[in-house]
Chains A and B, each alone.
Chain A
Amino acid sequence: MTARDRAVWDPAWADTAVRDPAAPDRAIRETRPDHGAIWRLTLAAAAGTAASLGAIGLTATSAWLISRAALHPPVLTLMFAVVAVQVCGLGRSVFRYAERLTGHDAALRVLASIRVRAYTRLERLAPAGLAAFRSGDLVGRLVSDIDSIADRWLRVLLPYAAAAVAGAATTGFVALLLPSAGLVLAASLVAAAAVAPWAAGAVARKAERRIAPHRGELNAASLDLLRGCAELVAFGAVDEGLERVCDADRALRKAEGRSAAGRGIAASVTALAAGGSVWACVVLGVSAVRSGVLPGVTLAVVVLTPLAAHEVFGGLAPAAQQLPRIRASASRVRAVLRHPDPVHEPSLPLPAPAPPYDLRIENLSARWSAGVPDVLSGIGLTVPAGRRVAVVGPSGAGKTTLAMVLLRFLDPAGGRVILGGTDITELSGDTVRGIIGLCAQDAHVFDTTVGENVLLARRDASMAQVRDALLRAGLLDWVDSLPLGLDTPAGEHGARLSGGQRQRLALARVLLAGFPVLVLDEPTEHLDEQTADTLTRDLLAATDGRTVLLITHRTAGLELVDEIVRIEAGRLARPGRLRQAGAATQA
């Protein structure tokens, strides 16, 4: 049964996908590093354990050495202890080096595997499943959330694993000398590792979770102030804009202050655990020596070893304090990754249809996610191959949704789209997108060279083909006037290009890819009137001979299309008067 058949058979099908019990587990799996990375993490933890044991051993052996020396033995009898001290000292440094190196290796492996896994899921969701992440800042926050998931493994689990093994070994060793001291040490280490972060969390858990959102708000408020600077100055509203930034800053500071209070409590508990265990070991050790249970020569070992062990454990509470922040990031990422697939690929996709690629839209309805009202309904439109149709209508009428369905970025909620005789839901998304191309209003320009940005459309294109595409898009003269030509960097989001040049670059791309059917979605949005009119004419001239669906809310510059249809509030307006409506605005 194909996806489409099933949608007809069960209209609530999209809803069941939300409740798919496997989905959450899958999302969690996707934020977990792979086996290679985990193996490196284990290696780093082992080196960390060895380094910690070296540090603790250094204190223990030298304490014994000094005590033994006080009994004035022949120097030779101390040789074994001297060597042990040296081995511990050297081992501490060398293993620490190994830990840091393997730790960073693991860090980058974890990062790579988490990024790849999250990306694989995002790739299935984009763009309809990521509609809430249209703005660049939100994508930035999502990406930094993904990156911070790696911190859970590196900054929390790794030090805890190393400290746990070293702590257990040390406790066992001290317990062998004096069981009661071992018991005290064990309790104090648990306090440093668990009670301290728990106490900090009780004070600041909520604040920790709020810090990242507050910082995002501060960033957004600053950005709104700077971007809107001219208007705020012109309307005399700068003070209100600054006040918004200061409010966000105050909120962030308050959360940070609370977090500092949590850190203070954790530091205090940690210091108390370390000092308390040393104090208790002095009391227990002195009475044990006095009663003859403990040889005097090992008293220094029993007292000073806990001191060294707590130095290792001292870093755990600050590490654990990052957990609320990491958990908040992880849950934000999961909320995105759990979003049900916007498109259901057929299990047995049909082969690509043969030309001519007539496009027939039958009674189509569509919505962005289950449970929200349809954005499009009852759309019927036939576009024979080679015909050029403009779809006009006010913003928000559902025109972009139509583009999403045609590109197979969104499943129809009802009705069908027939491409070259085949229902597009029976085809894989990649097959459909091999035939239907899209030039969107917000086509992304990657931060690489202009040439690479065009070549993206067809990796095997020749230089002549690239130049030809640029020529037809009206961009070749500009590219040739640049000192670096095609090797000119485009900048972040194409910042070095003007709005018109970015759109022409996007056009050059779809021309190079040679799609037989083209959807142009508001290609002139954000441009000034004149540039927009020129570009509209150039677009239609450059795509002559192909099937074109030009989606626009502008009615100017449409002389070159064969037909104009109008969408209003998700429905096709009566076709009879459309051509007229378009022509009227040309007057």
Chain B
Amino acid sequence: MRPLDRRLLRFAGRARTYLIALIVAMAAVAGLVIVQAQLLATAIAGAFAGGLGLPEMRGTIAALAAVVAARAALAWAIEGFSYRASAGVKSQLRRGLLEHAVRLGPRWLAARRSGELATLAATGVDALDPYFAKYLPQLVLAFVIPAAVAGRLLAADPLSAALIVLTLPLIPVFMALVGATTAERTRLRWRELGRLSYHFLDVVAGLQTLKVFGRAKAQADSIRKVTDSYRHATLATLRLTFLSSLVLELVATFSVALVAVSAGLRLVSGHLGLQTGLLVLVLAPEAYLPLRQLASHYHASADGLAAAGEVFAVLETPLPEGAPAGAAAPVPAAVRVEDVSVRYPGRDALTPGDAGLRFGAGEVVALAGPSGSGKSTLIGVLLGFVAPDTGRVVIEEPDGERELGELDMRAWRACVGWVPQDPVLQPGTVGSNIRLGRPDASREDVRRAALGAALHEIGLDAPVGEGGSGLSAGQRRRVAVARALTANRPVLLLDEPTAGLDAAAEAEVLATVRGLAREGRAVLMVAHRPAVLAAADRVVTLPPPGEPVRVPAGSAGAPA
């Protein structure tokens, strides 16, 4: 982990202004601490040694009041600056991460856990707060404040200043000595704490399963045991880790004591005035504090830096070759698949097995084949989500034909209505989901599409929760069918549109699909059940995985 991630600073943009303001405000506080120490020393020495009263000290008292007011104002400003320094960066990182992930596309996402990416965007990035609000300013302050304190003391008592300059390096030296041995172990421990939380979550999420097997009550004991054994192991590590801060604190304490004792002895012998002695006493600890804080802020921002590293890993993934934008919008009359194959890393079988097929306006072609033969992969190719390793997809148009790769993907997808195998709905209502491809669709259109998808039992205003919750799998599928109908596109790719539907609903949906073909749409339908295969004009069967039998273009298999 780099202590200073330049990519992050570059990303900071407008936030840099606030970062600078934050550093200036913090440095001003440090300056005020020095002034306050000076004023206190003057007042105490004046009253004790000089016998002065309040009237003689009016100026000092007024100045002290001003310092107090200024510090209060700066304390308020610092919180505002530190919020603004990190909030903008976090929002930009979030948006950048999600935008880039979506542009990388479904195939890239499929290899990752979307839950982890979402958590990284939503909460992982928040760990950057201490980095911007505390660690970055402290990087500057750790040099500025000790220098300012030593400078002030140099003018008042050169010997004290010299002692501070000599003992100050002890802090980073001990930090390195103790820190190196414990940092790694501490990080491992914290990671394990995360895993421990996860164990608890796993048990709660699996409560029903545990109860079925009569093991739920026993888990209370297991939660206690796991937490306890973690506690024992952690405390062993922490004993050592906290020793490092103990050592640092002791080094600082004894350095201050050294400065104070020398000042005290010179006070006794009369070589030093009380005012200077008090100044040394109040200021000396301030010289050691920033370096110690730097260490703890560094540890506090480690999570944020790690999260930022993960975000940049995504942002620096190159986008797939963009199709030429601005090409004429396609007017598809038929789609032809020629010798397409997709190679998945780690699998020797070619998927979808050198498929060749053609489906045109006005017909329903069923795509059959065993699990794993690549039916859904072929749909992915047709949608432009998966680039074929060999072969090509040709879009036949009234005035010629073009390859899929030559088209502007946005324009091509605007021609395609799709029902995925496992539809994902967006939160909102059933109606808003059906409108996804055509937000301005009339209520009448939406209602008709819902009827065509056999979606009788739920209203358009029924709420849809996160991840489509509130709807059963069958209902989600029918909403997806209605969504594709409403989008009103010339090409339809239906991936098992009737899976999980009962016979009556299946018949209704198939009748709707036949109707779509009659209206002149080109329909490709992944199918398995006899009733669905029977509804197709032709059936193309893909060979099982590992048997890359060539299916000639346009060939028709017999309905099973």
Contact = CB atoms under 8 A, between A and B. Distances in A.
B436 A237 contact: yes
Contacts of A240: 439
Interface string B251-287: 0011001001101110111100110011001100000
B257 A238 contact: no
Contacts of A111: 227
Contacts of B227: 108, 111-112, 115
A100 B235 CA distance: 10
Given A130-B207, A267-B78, A447 B263 contact: no
Contact of B214 (A78, A137, A396, A433): A433
A489 to B, nearest CB: 13
A123 B80 contact: no
Given A66-B277, A264-B80, A289-B48, A529 B102 contact: no
Given A224-B426, A242-B98, A299-B47, A122 B40 contact: no
Contact of B54 (A267, A287, A396): A287
A94 B250 CA distance: 9
A294 B400 CA distance: 104
A337 interface: no
Contacts, number: 423
Contact of A299 (B44, B82, B282): B44
A164 interface: no
B83 A260 contact: yes
Contacts of B143: none
Contacts of A75: 265, 268
How many interface residues does chain B have, given as a range? 35 or more
Nearest to A275: B68
Given A115-B200, A232-B102, A287-B53, A222 B475 contact: no
A140 B467 CA distance: 15
Contacts of A261: 79-80
Contact of A108 (B36, B75, B90, B231): B231
Contacts of B53: 286-287, 290
A329 B139 CA distance: 35
Interface string A271-302: 11001101100110111011000001101100
B121 A222 contact: yes
Interface string A480-501: 0000000000001101000000
Given A242-B98, A296-B47, A528-B499, A147 B106 contact: no
B48 A66 contact: no
B121 A444 contact: no
A263 B528 contact: no
A67 interface: yes
Contact of A127 (B77, B106, B208, B230): B208
11 contacts: A66-B260, A105-B231, A223-B466, A235-B413, A275-B72, A286-B47, A396-B475, A446-B203, A456-B213, A528-B421, A555-B503
Interface of B: 36, 40, 43-44, 46-49, 51-54, 57, 61, 64-65, 67-69, 71-80, 82-83, 87, 90-91, 94-95, 98-99, 101-102, 105-106, 109, 113-115, 117-119, 121-123, 126, 197-217, 219-220, 223-224, 227-228, 230-231, 234-235, 238-239, 242-243, 245-246, 249-250, 253-254, 257, 260-261, 263-265, 267-270, 273-274, 277-278, 281-282, 370-371, 383, 385, 410, 413-414, 416, 418, 420-427, 436-437, 439, 457, 465-467, 469, 472-475, 480, 483, 487, 496, 499-500, 502-503, 528-529
Given A233-B105, A235-B413, 5 more contacts: A136-B205, A242-B95, A271-B71, A300-B278, A526-B473
CB-CB nearest 6 A-B residue pairs: A275-B68, A444-B206, A260-B83, A395-B472, A264-B79, A126-B207
